[in-house]
Chains A and B, each alone.
Chain A
């Protein structure tokens, strides 16, 4: 082997045109925050200049003030407590049952075909349509609202869970068997952790469905709760309080998704 001559640049040598960089978006955090602030500033400006009626579209400052007043008077805490209790209890029931049933569908041929059929049939029903029925069953109080949320979060969790179980690499299961692991050990040490990423992203979707159902249920029959607050503010044309309620709901959603994000980060650190 001998070393070849080095590059022969000279007359006639042209640079190869770069054509690799296209559609490679970067995430610029500052730009995101700026866009949000700019929207709020524009809104405030439009209100201050009188372009928008304060009744139909109150300014961000007015919404902020309403939020502050409700916070100081303790009104907000009451609504928030009622809403969070319903959401968390309903989501806990629906999520836990959903993961359990999803695992059963994913693991057992006995449960699988009937389970998938039932879930496919019931999943597309808008769950809020069942609230009147749940009111008949569980009464107008907390029971019917919690049941609606539990029912609504159950189905997406089941679907995500059994999909995630199906996606666990079969060669890992075979490996577990080849090292003498029992069926229970394979479920808890291989299938469940392998399905966890899919389960958690299913819970994320279920949680946002849960918030939708929470608000809808509170609008139909509740005196306490953020949904009730939004509805009654609308009836009284208090659009500043109405939007304050919407802001609170958005914050609830963000907080819940932040908690799930934290869980993902801790449980899926290996990724």
Chain B
């Protein structure tokens, strides 16, 4: 299944946030969307996942999702969005309940997903007992349980400290090496983008429009954070974004509704 951004333009009231965004996510492709803060990249992701309606243009899908996919477009949220009153297993089960799965069938998928993501020992634990990194692992497990065709990740590591972020990034690289899991990965962290993406879409500052697109053809498992080639790519991206980021930084905060 392909996910397509078809000339998406969006405004919150009088405030334009996205301008004419078009690109296609091919099956199995990892596309990172980077840009300065407030450029509308999270809004773009929500539009792609059907959580928001664009002012004009549309999010399209083409082709059938892979067999067995319950929730073709599945989010991983920056703030984890776990239900604090449900255990880890209960949170993963919630995603299945949305698709009419309950009882033994659901329990089997939950157990299988938790085992696959290294969370089996934490099944009966409540989110508040978990570190931020483990919470996001639960968020990722919940997303995997419904077998997405495209994973929509909204700054999934931004709420984590630098060390945890490194550990989770390793997890994500491994996960994407295991199977072709198409992903839209929104981030402001350029190192994350070059580590994971097949393609990087760079947005300008608000209203966000596509400023450049890069292809990274290095095999993902071989990339390490210290790889000079990757460092160079990140540097190149930063040179492209820097001026926009500096300007965005000086913008008044009351215009920030756009990315809230």
Contact = CB atoms under 8 A, between A and B. Distances in A.
Nearest to A173: B81
A97 interface: no
Interface residues of A, number: 20
Interface in B40-73: 49-51, 70-71, 73
Given A175-B77, A180-B71, A193 B85 contact: yes
Contacts of A82: none
B95 to A, nearest CB: 4
Interface string A232-269: 00000000000000000000000000000000000010
B118 interface: no
B126 interface: yes
Contacts of A178: 49-51, 71, 73-75
B97 A171 contact: no
Q: Would you call the interface of chain A mostly helix, strand, loop, or mixed?
A: helix
A182 B128 CA distance: 26
B83 A172 contact: yes
Given A178-B51, A179-B146, A270-B128, A185 B81 contact: no
A179 B142 CA distance: 9
Contacts of B95: 179
A173 B137 CA distance: 20
A75 to B, nearest CB: 46
A174 interface: yes
A181 B98 contact: yes
Contacts of A177: 51
A176 interface: yes
B79 A179 contact: no
Given A171-B81, A190-B83, A193-B85, A176 B126 contact: no
Interface of A: 169, 171-172, 174-182, 185, 189-190, 193-194, 268, 270-271
10 contacts: A174-B51, A175-B77, A177-B51, A179-B71, A179-B95, A179-B98, A179-B99, A189-B97, A270-B85, A271-B128
